[in-house]
Amino acid sequence: MFGTLARLGGALLLALGCTAIAAAAEPNLTVTVAGRATTYAPASLLGMPAATTVNVANDVAYQRDMSFRAVPAANLLGGVAPDDTLRFVASDGFVATLPASLLLARSGAVAYLAVEPADARWPALKPDSPTSAGPFYLVWLNPERGGITPEQWPYQVARIEDVPPLLKRYPMLAPGASAHDAVRRGYAVFEKNCSVCHTLNLGGDATVGPDLNVPYNPTEYMRVDALRRLIRNPQSLRRWPAAKMPAFEAKLLSDRELTDLLAYLSHMADRKAAVPALK
Which residues contact ligand HEC (rule: CB under 6 A)? 151, 193-194, 196-198, 208-210, 212, 218, 230-231, 234, 243-246, 248, 261
CA gap 156, 219 in Å, rounded: 32
Smallest gap, in angstroms, from Cβ of residue 190 to ligand HEC? 6
Residue 29 contacts residue 136 (beta carbons within 8 Å) = yes
Residue 227 beta carbon to ligand HEC: minimum distance, rounded to whole angstroms: 6
Select 132 or 233, whichever has its Cβ closest to ligand HEC.
233
Q: How far is the CB of 217 from ligand HEC (least distance, A)?
A: 9
By C-beta, is 2 or 221 nearer to ligand HEC?
221
Distant-in-sequence, close-in-space partners of 244: CB < 8 Å, separation ≥ 6: 197, 208, 209
Report how far residue 158's alpha carbon sits from residue 42's, in angstroms, rounded to the nearest whole number. 11
| Contact (CB, 8 A) for 268 and 213 | yes
Closer to ligand HEC by Cβ: residue 117 or 246: 246
Least distance in angstroms from the C-beta of 140 to ligand HEC: 17
CB of 212 to ligand HEC, least distance (A): 6
Question: In degrees to the nearest 10, what's the CA dihedral of 39, 44, 50, 56?
Answer: 90
**Is the Cβ–Cβ distance between 212 and 198 less than 8 Å?**
yes
Cβ distance to ligand HEC smaller for residue 70 or 197: 197
Which C-beta is closer to ligand HEC: that of 76 or that of 231? Answer: 231
